[in-house]
Amino acid sequence: MAHVEFGMEQHNATRRNYLERVIEHDKAACAEVAAQFGKDYWDGDRKYGYGGYRYDGRWRALAEAMVRHYGLEPGASILDVGCGKGFLLYEFTQVLPGARVAGVDISSYAVGHVKDEVRSRVQCANAVALPFADQTFDFVVSVTTLHNLYNFDLACALAEIERVGRGAKHVVVETYRNEREKANLLYWQLTCRSFYTPAEWEWFFQTARYTGDHSFIVFA
């Protein structure tokens, strides 16, 4: 298990007004809506989530970096846990010839609006019970999803990632390193359930016997 940094470039490209999120809106009410992971979360007002989650090519660099770092070969099988609308999956098919991709997401809305090119490869499922046989995938990735689970479900999801993966694994989760980043995370987040420092995350990974790599997202 290693800390291999992926994800901060995309994260830092987004401008955020942390105080606005708690001053101008009823944050608790917005979080209740966001936690349904429906249309409002993906394509509604920004106060409920993404404010419109559309393909813009930003995931290409991440797919390229992961393929390069993990030495994924043409035809590799890849699973994205919490794939949303399948943008990262699509990029894997573009940067890795013959990539056999699959994705799951708990949101029926997201699955219903998956990018056309990978629509047949995505299904609605929970990370705690992945609908795949043991050791099915050469690479399993999960980006900004697992922190949305309570600790008991998080442990199950990590075990499931271990079960279905036969090669490299990588998860990207939100964290905080100091009081300012903790405040910003609390101000900004709408669906996070697992609030851990990097050291706590690494302890949790070890306790759950997760052997893959991880990246951290911080709200500086």
Give residue 194's domain range. Answer: 8-217
CATH number reported for the structural domain that contains residue 128 in this entry: 3.40.50.150
Residue 168: name the closest of 60, 68, 62 by CA. 68
Q: How far is CA 53 from CA 3, 37, 116, 215, in A?
A: 28, 12, 15, 22
Dist CA 125 CA 144 (whole Å): 16
The number of domains in the chain is 1
Assigned domain for 1 exists:
no
Assigned domain for 3 exists:
no
Q: DSSP readout, 57-92?
A: STTHHHHHHHHHHHTPPTT-EEEEET-TTSHHHHHH
The per-residue pLDDT string of the chain (220 residues; one tens digit each, 9 = 90 and over) reads: 899 987 566 666 677 888 888 888 999 999 999 999 999 999 999 999 999 999 999 999 999 999 999 999 999 999 999 999 999 999 999 999 999 999 999 999 999 999 999 999 999 999 999 999 999 999 999 999 999 999 999 999 999 999 999 999 999 999 999 999 999 999 999 999 999 999 999 999 999 999 999 999 999 8
Assigned domain for 65 exists:
yes
Assigned domain for 125 exists:
yes
Both structure tokens of 9: 């470039």
Contact 141, 79 (CB under 8 A): yes
Collect all residues with Cβ–Cβ distance below 8 Å to 203 and sequence separation of at least 6.
none
Assigned domain for 53 exists:
yes
Assigned domain for 30 exists:
yes
3-state secondary structure of 99: coil
pTM of this structure = 0.95
